[in-house]
Amino acid sequence: MTVAISVEHLSKSYRLGQIGTGTLTNDMKVWWAKKLGRPNPMLKIGQVDHGNTDGETIWALKDVSFQVEQGEVLGIIGRNGAGKSTLLKILSRVTAPSSGFVKVKGRIASLLEVGTGFHPDLTGRENIYLNGAILGMTKQETARKFDEIVAFAEIEKFIDTPVKRYSSGMYVRLAFAVAAHLESEILLVDEVLAVGDAEFQKKCLGKMGDVASREGRTVLFVSHNMESVRRLCINGMVMRKGILLNKSKIDDAIANYMKSGSIGDAHMLFPIDKAKSAQFTSIKLSNIDDIECNQFRQDEIVRISVSICFREKLHACMAAISIISDLGFPIFTTSDWDYLPDLRFCQRLPGKLEYVVMIPEKFLFPGRYFLRLGLGISGHQKYDQIPSTVGFEILSEGSIMAELGDKRIGVVTPMLEWQRKS
């Protein structure tokens, strides 16, 4: 097979804090004073010069090496800060590596964040041609794909409107349509599809599947949604803290990813994002006595507390919690519509809301589980989504198998009633 991407000993470092004084003149004054052995003239009275003008260095990538074959669909998975986005930025030539090199065979179309490569003052039509030119396509080649791009993005009425007036969802629709339809040999997609609605995400995943299987193009896909990664990708690559842990078949990669990290803290606060209409602000795991913990006997109740902030009136907004196995398989999903079905006809008012959800005892098999949170309008709009970063463990102590001595299969152990007919 032909190698589409070859990465050898790739590393990328960043320096934290302020570097330099901000002007060339002041930098020269500091340099000259240091040369003469004099104190830093730019320090304020009482300020101590620690001699660390370059700032602290952190490594986003460390000695990463791998190859991607032509037509391969590779899922890149890892927790926040693993170096996934930095890797795609280097492959897209957005930033340069500190060491190592990358060899790419073919043109690259990248979708790294909302509106990548778009000029805000140009219309959707003009940005399509601009992106085509950036990819090295002629005006005639872009024109052949133009109608197909607009139809896929479903923004025909707004195609001659400056994209700075687009919503984030419209941005994603057009950006993905351009990246997927223009004739590049390699497609890089970072976690941007989470902005679009559920139906469009499904449409995008289908298109990426067609791009890979029918057109033979190479796809690198970064996502925290293990279900989407498993459905789309053939192989997977697990990263942690800038280091490549392994590259293997996608099921093995997901299993290694879910087992590689800890189950996290029992209480987590999420960053405030005032741009969101609604968002989760915290989650807490506790026992029936509301004592924080993330390890439970099988005969204990798992208590999940979530806090939500609504910043505007929202109609038919649903809060949902999905339980994911350590292999990335969804076990079940519960939502506030289950208990309060009238919410689908009501408006959420601005303010804070807290829920407590309980998983009954003797329900889940011993093992590790992760929580995924979602907030939105079912099948249409997502306001917030927290990936599977919060987890808990069901211990074998107090388990059904220990009590009964049997070997059950499955993921749940409900105690169902058996009625005997005479």
pLDDT (0 to 100) of residue 197: 63
Kindly state whether residues 285 and 378 are assigned to the same domain: yes
CATH of the domain at 339: 2.70.50.60
Q: What is the mean pLDDT of residues 245-250?
A: 88
Q: pLDDT digit string (tens) for 390-399?
A: 889 888 765 5
H or E element at residue 255: helix 250-260
Kindly state whether residues 249 and 297 are assigned to the same domain: no
Q: How far apart are CA 192 and CA 399, in angstroms?
A: 41
Q: How far apart are CA 369 and CA 388, in angstroms?
A: 9
Q: How far apart are CA 412 and CA 88, in angstroms?
A: 39
Cα 372 to its chain centre, rounded Å, is: 12
> Is residue 8 included in any domain, yes or no?
no
Number of domains in the chain: 3
More confident residue, 161 or 116: 161
> Is residue 219 included in any domain, yes or no?
yes
DSSP-based three-state secondary structure for 209: helix
pLDDT (0 to 100) of residue 226: 76
pLDDT (0 to 100) of residue 407: 62
Kindly state whether residues 240 and 195 are assigned to the same domain: yes
Could you tell me if 102 and 108 are in contact, meaning their C-beta atoms sit under 8 angstroms apart?
no
Kindly state whether residues 272 and 304 are assigned to the same domain: yes
pLDDT (0 to 100) of residue 87: 92
Kindly state whether residues 283 and 251 are assigned to the same domain: no
pLDDT (0 to 100) of residue 114: 57
Rounding to the nearest 10 degrees, give the CA dihedral for residues 151, 156, 160, 162.
Answer: -90
Q: pLDDT digit string (tens) for 87-128?
A: 998 998 888 899 998 998 888 877 776 556 688 888 989 988
Least trusted range by pLDDT, from 20-34, 159-173, 349-363: 20-34
Kindly state whether residues 98 and 222 are assigned to the same domain: yes
> Is residue 45 included in any domain, yes or no?
yes
> Is residue 383 included in any domain, yes or no?
yes
Q: pLDDT digit string (tens) for 50-70?
A: 554 445 678 889 999 999 988
Amino acid (1-letter code) at residue 148: E
Residue range(s) defining the domain that contains residue 167 = 63-260
More confident residue, 417 or 270: 270
Examine the pLDDT at 284 and tell me if it is beyond 90: yes
Q: pLDDT digit string (tens) for 202-238?
A: 777 777 777 777 777 888 888 877 777 888 888 999 9
Kindly state whether residues 348 and 248 are assigned to the same domain: no
Kindly state whether residues 211 and 306 are assigned to the same domain: no
Kindly state whether residues 50 and 67 are assigned to the same domain: no
> Is residue 414 included in any domain, yes or no?
no
pLDDT (0 to 100) of residue 54: 47
Examine the pLDDT at 18 and tell me if it is beyond 60: no
List the 330-335 sheet strands across, edge first: 295-297, 381-395, 367-377, 318-325, 330-335
Cα 348 to its chain centre, rounded Å, is: 27
Kindly state whether residues 237 and 291 are assigned to the same domain: no
Kindly state whether residues 251 and 274 are assigned to the same domain: no
Examine the pLDDT at 17 and tell me if it is beyond 60: no
Examine the pLDDT at 282 and tell me if it is beyond 80: yes
